[in-house]
Structure formats: structure tokens, C-alpha cells
Chains A and B, each alone.
Chain A
Amino acid sequence: MDFRFSEEQLMMQKTVREFAEKEIGPFVADMESKGQFPREFLKKLAQLDLMGIPIPSEWGGAGSDYISYIIAIEEISKVWASLGVILAVHTSLGCFPLLNFGSQEQKQRFLFDLAAGKRLGAFALSEPGAGSDAANIKTSAKKTGNEYILNGSKVFISNAGEADVYLTMAVTDPGKGPRGISAFLVEKDTPGLRFGPPEKTMGLRSSSTRQLFFEDARVPVENLLGQEGEGFKIAMSLLDGGRIGIGAQALGIARAALEAAQNYAREREQFGQPIASFQGIQFMLADMATQVEAARLLVYHAAFLKETGQPHSKEASMAKLFASDTAMRVTTDAVQVFGGYGYTAEYPVERYMRDAKVTQIYEGTNQVQRIVIAKELMR
């Protein structure tokens, strides 16, 4: 057993933590209240080589490891969950598929700029009629000459409207079920691609969630990722890694809530003493801290398995499930510790609570995570 980060990972953690607290933290409340997309902050992340952490340097990334990437997601999400999910989607679902399935030519055209943070990535799978039932997508892609013509729509697409490249799943062979799905690299300015209005979401208000409409959208054949019919396989291969990323995001949110509750409990006085001196509050904080610690261990253990090339599907689902449920409970309790003040936008805990909710929903609902875990148990 060895629970230590390497010297490099520790320095990276310290740097990202300091950067997030000092250079990002002061702007978050204002940006969230305006629902402004953090374009400038993504540039700053790129300057620190954080937009392609686990992508080899020959492809524009930092050439670091997966655990360092998870550390960055956790630390950034602790300060700003919106920025955390933008980075997670960009890296896990934007960069990784190109690294794993892209041709040399596609990597040169897309991955280099994505991993260097010059362009932003997104992933388009969910449809109005296909969320958890992802194999049931209807968006079609018909080959004519040296182009595919895409028709259909996608919903709840993170980074939509802001990203430059959308890895889009579409049906090339309707008779083949999941094996008839293919993956396309669709560029933002593709003729026939249109974006719906920004969704008004409960939390993560600085992130962008919109619909995608394909109306005879023309995608060149060289933008097919992998082979025809490999789309579903590609999408599924990304999910485990993506889930660890969302687990790390949830962990960051939970830690932020715990810290805020700890500090407030020490300051806030009632009945002539800090509320931290009451056992009712102490027990809440103790439970919150214990859950956060357990979530941390699940997330980093899953990341460790992935990093070392071991099977990690079950553990990734467990980490995502537990960390997101923990984030929901801990942020709810943090609001409770703050009492009436916690319910106001004057303090950040109400934002943490709103941000936590979606971590139980996206990247596979927690019900889907349980299905994955149970399937692995019944093998």
C-alpha cells in the first residue's frame, strides 16, 4: 500500500490550488450570477498547460499522468465547479477519443490545438429520446461522395456553442443497432449545424449547456473517427475515464462545502458560544468529513487503477456514484450549518448545493452507475 502522491503531483496540486484560490476564486460569484462563460480563465489554464494534462507533449499536451489530471479537476472544481466540468468534458471527452482512436492526420488537425488549449472540445451523444438508453440515438449520417450528411438533434451538450470541435455520435447503419453508430468530428462552423438557446440550469451557470441541431450538416469523410460502426464502442470507452473526472468534480464541490461549514461553525456564535462547540454541529461536520474522505479514496483508487492499466469500470462507477451522492449530502448539510444565511446567495454554500445536484445526473445517472456496478458483480 502506498497512498502518497509523487513529489511532482504534490507540487502540481499546490500550484493549481494556489492558482485557483487566488486567481480564480475572487471572480466566481460574479461570473456565476451573470452566467458568463469563463473564456479568459480557460486561457489562463492553457498557459499553465492544464488543458491537456494527460495528453503526450508531442500532441500538444503537458505529457503528465491521469492522476495529475484528476487532481486538477478536484482543485479547480473546489473553487469553481463550472470551470471544472468544462475542463473535464474537454479533456475526457474531447481530447482522449482523438488520442485513442484518431489517425495521425486527425491528431495533427485536431488534437494538437485541443490539448494546447487553443481550441475547446465537446461531446454530443444524448438526444431527446436517448439519454441513459444511449444506443437508441436517432441522429443519422448518410454518406454521399466524400461527405456525410448529418440530420437530427442532441440535447444537454456541455460546452455547446463555445467548443470548436464536437465529437458527435450518429447512426450510419440503422439495421445494426449499437454497431451501426459512428463517431464524427464536427467543427463548430460546419454548414447545417445550429445551436439551441442556452439552457437555464439549476447550477453550473457559467458552463454552457445547449441543444445541437443538424440539418443536412455536411461533414467531410476524413472527420469520421475510427471506422464506421465504431462510434458506440468509442463512446463507451470514454465513459469510465469521464466518470472518474466527474467523481473528482463532485469531490471538489464537497470539500468546498465542508471547509465553508467548518469555518462558519467556528465563527458563528449562538447562546454565547461558537456553534462549533455544540455536539449537534460537531457530529454533522464529523459525518461530512468522513464521507468526503471516503469519496476521495474511491476517486483516487479508480484513477490509480486507470493510470496503471487495470480494469476499473466498476470502480469508476462506484467513485462517481459515491462522490456525487456525497457532494449532494455534504452541500445540503453545509447549507444547514449556515442556517438562514446558507439559503442566501451572500454565501457560496447555496451554489455548492445547486452545483452538486447535476453530478448525480450527468456522465450516467447514479441509477445507471448502479446498473454498471451490479452487472460487474453478476459477471
Chain B
Amino acid sequence: MNIVVLIKQTFDTEAKIQLTGDGKVNDQGVNLIMNPYDEFAVEEAIRIKEAKGGEVTIVSLGGDKAQEAVRQALAMGADKAVLVNDPALEGADHYVVAKVLAKVLEGMEYDLILTGWVAIDDQSSQVPGRLAEVLGLPQANVVTKLEVEDGKVVCHREGDGSVEVLEVPLPAVVTAQKGLNEPRYPSLKGIMQAKKKELKKVSLGDLGLPAEEAKAKVVGYQLPEARQAGKVVEGEPAETVSQLIEFLTKEAKVI
């Protein structure tokens, strides 16, 4: 069973977001990691491979630094990787990314496409769904348990106090949610082998794609306003209640 895992390099969850002078997100000195939800997808793919055989291929879009995330996936146990690295992809939106990924996948043989249900940076959850549409594949999202059977996967999705179980024919796109598994740490031997595994870097030209105009463009970034210290209303209960009402009606204007 051949599996393609789509991964994205993102800021560390603990990174402090700052803007540059010209209003862009400052990535200087920020620790970069593999999107944690993609890590669940990588782990699941490797587990399926270990149980059923086949090959796991990592596909990612990004600059030179994104190689680190790709190597990590290879060190965990994936077999090979493709990194689309093209300056023309700067500012690419989800429409463009899905199109490029579809093109990369065109030349591959796969039974299953796995990825995280959301990336922790833009939190848009757009790419997997768009990709499935472009490729004409069924999709199952936010999956916490995955069972591979003959020609299909059984996907468990958790709702409020219930579990939805889907049977999806292969090939399909499945997105991983926290709880699917506990991703492994790469072993030292894995890290050493990762260097020898194939990591193919391709440009849009190599894929035969023109630089495509993004449908959505980022106009600007703004940091959320810093949180103000809370107000403590002190005194006797009767007094404080009227103070509080005054505050809620006049200052906060919520009632």
C-alpha cells in the first residue's frame, strides 16, 4: 500500500509572533517545526507501512528551511520525499497550493493521501479538501482512528459525545486529528538513514506549471491588541453590584 503524506513546516506552537517594519510576519530566529497534525499523518502512514508494506512518500511546499521538516519525516521512517521549492510560490494561496500538489501527485502511484486536518499557522483547513476536489477523490476529515481494509479505509470521527464511522473507498484523502496516534521520535539510526534517502526538489518549471496568480491575497497582518489588566471591583456587595452595573452599561457597553 503506497501512501503520500502532505506536510507543512510551521512556526513552533510556542513561538512569539512579531511583525516586521513593513507589516509581514517576522520569521527571524523563530523555531520551525513540522505542523503537529501532519506529524500524526506521518506516524499513521509509517504504522500502516510497517503492518502492510508499501512505500511512504512525503510531499511538501516550502523554501530551503522546509527541508528540515521533510528530513524529520524521513528520519521517522518515510521512504522518500518531494519538496516543491520555487520563489514564485511566495504568497501562494490555498487554491494555488492545491493545484501544485495535484500536479505533483499526478505522476505518482498511491492508495491513500494522508495529512493534518489543519495547519497551526493559518488554521484554514483549506488545502486537503481542495486537493481532493481537484483529484476527484473522496475525503474524510478530522479522523482519530483509521483502519485499512481491502480497497477501503474505515475512519472514525469524534463528535459531541458520539463517534461517526465512515467507510471510504481508496484512493482517498484522509486528514488526521490529535488522538490518531502518538508520533514517534526519530531514532538515531533513522536520523542517519534520512540523509541517504531521496529528497527531490522540484520547481514549478519542472512540474510544467506556470506561475499562477493567487485567488486570495494577503492585504496586511495585525497583531491582536495586547490584553488589558482586568478591573477589580472592591467594597461591600451592595456597592460593588451597582459599580459593576455601571461599568457594564457605560464603560464596556455590553448591556
A interface residue numbers (CB < 8 A to B): 7-8, 11-12, 15, 18-19, 23, 47-50, 53, 57, 62-64, 68
In the complex where A62-B192, A63-B192, A64-B192 touch, is A11 in contact with B72 (Cβ < 8 A)? yes
Contact A8 B192 (CB under 8 A): yes
CA distance A188 to B18 in the complex (A): 58
Q: How far is the CA of A30 from the CA of B205 in the complex (A)?
A: 58
B186 sits at the interface (CB 8 A): yes
For A57, what are the chain B residues with a Cβ–Cβ distance below 8 Å?
Answer: 189
Kindly identify which residue among A11, A19, A23, A47 contacts B191, using a CB–CB cutoff of 8 Å.
A11
The listed residue (A7, A18, A23, A68) touching B188 by CB distance below 8 A is A68
A62 partner, pick from B71, B189, B194, beta carbons under 8 A: B189
Q: With the chains together, A63 CA to B71 CA distance in Å?
A: 19
Query: B13 — which chain A residues lie within 8 A by C-beta?
Result: none
A48-B187 contact in complex given A7-B195, A11-B68, C-beta closer than 8 Å: yes
Q: Is B81 an interface residue (CB 8 A)?
A: no
Contacts of A48 in B (CB 8 A): 185-188
Quick check: A49 and B68 within 8 Å, CB to CB? no
What is the CA–CA distance of A49 and B185 in the complex, to the nearest angstrom?
A: 11
Least Cβ–Cβ distance between B13 and chain A, in angstroms: 12
- Which residue of A has the minimal Cβ distance to B76? A15
- Does B75 have its Cβ within 8 Å of any Cβ on chain A? yes
Interfacial chain B residues near A62, Cβ < 8 Å: 187-189, 192
Chain B 67-96 interface mask (CB, 8 Å, partner A; 1/0): 010011001000000000000000000000
A12 to B187, CA, bound (A): 9
CB distance from A259 to the nearest CB of B (A): 14
With A11-B75, A57-B189, A63-B192 given, can you name 6 additional A-B contacts, CB distance below 8 Å?
A11-B191, A19-B185, A49-B188, A62-B187, A62-B189, A68-B188
Query: Hey, which chain A residues are within 8 Å of B191, CB to CB?
Result: 8, 11-12, 15
Chain B residues with Cβ under 8 A from A12's Cβ? 188, 191
Query: Looking at A11, A19, A50, A57, which has the most chain B CB atoms within 10 Å of its CB?
Result: A11
Asked whether A18 lies within 8 Å of B185 as measured between CB atoms, the reply is yes
What are the residues of chain B within 8 A of A49 when measuring CB–CB? 187-189
Binding site for A on B (CB under 8 A): 68, 71-72, 75, 185-189, 191-192, 194-195
How far, in angstroms, from A53 to B192 measured CA to CA in the complex?
A: 11
Which residues of the partner chain B approach A23 to less than 8 Å between Cβ atoms? 185
> A55 to chain B: closest CB distance in Å?
11
Complex contact A7–B71 (CB within 8 A): yes
**Interchain Cβ contacts under 8 Å between A and B, 14 examples:** A7-B195, A8-B195, A15-B185, A15-B186, A15-B191, A18-B185, A47-B187, A48-B185, A48-B187, A48-B188, A50-B188, A53-B188, A62-B188, A63-B189
Which of A7, A12, A15, A47 counts the most B-chain CB atoms under 10 A from its CB?
A15
Which 9 pairs between the two chains have the least Cβ-Cβ distance?
A49-B188, A62-B188, A49-B187, A48-B187, A49-B189, A19-B185, A11-B191, A12-B191, A15-B185
CA distance A62 to B186 in the complex (A): 13
Minimum distance in angstroms from A48 CB to a CB of chain B: 5
Q: Return chain B residues, CB-CB under 8 Å to A50.
A: 188
Q: Which residues of A contact B192 (CB under 8 A)?
A: 8, 62-64
B197 → A minimal CB distance (Å): 12
Nearest residue (CB) in B for A11 is B191
CA distance A49 to B71 in the complex (A): 18
Contacts of B194 in A (CB 8 A): 8, 11
Q: How far is the CB of B74 from chain A (nearest CB, A)?
A: 10
Query: What is the distance, in angstroms, from B37's C-beta to the closest C-beta of chain A?
Result: 17
Question: What is the CB-to-nearest-CB distance from A95 to chain B, in angstroms, rounded to a whole number?
Answer: 14
Among A19, A48, A68, max chain B CB count under 10 A is at A48
Name the distance in Å between B184's Cβ and chain A's nearest Cβ.
9
Task: Provide the bound-state CA to CA distance between A26 and B186, in Å.
Answer: 20
* B188–A64 CB distance below 8 A: yes
Instruction: Identify the closest chain A residue to B31 (Cβ).
Output: A14
Chain A residues positioned under 8 Å from B75 (CB to CB): 11, 15
| CB closest residue in chain B, given A9 | B191
Q: What's the nearest-Cβ distance from chain A to residue B81, in Å?
A: 14
Q: Closest residue to A72 on the B side, CB-wise?
A: B188
Question: Which residues of A have CB within 8 Å of B187?
Answer: 47-49, 62
Alpha-carbon distance A229/B194, docked complex (angstroms): 44
Closest to B71 in A: A11
In the complex, the chain A residue whose C-beta lies closest to that of B67 is A7
Task: For A12, give the chain B residue with the smallest CB separation.
Answer: B191
A48: nearest residue on chain B (CB-CB)? B187
Complex contacts, A11 vs chain B, CB 8 Å: 68, 71-72, 75, 186, 191, 194
Closest CB of chain B to A58's CB: distance in Å? 13
B94 to A: closest C-beta gap in Å = 29
Q: How far is A53 from B189 in the complex, measured between Cα atoms in Å?
A: 9
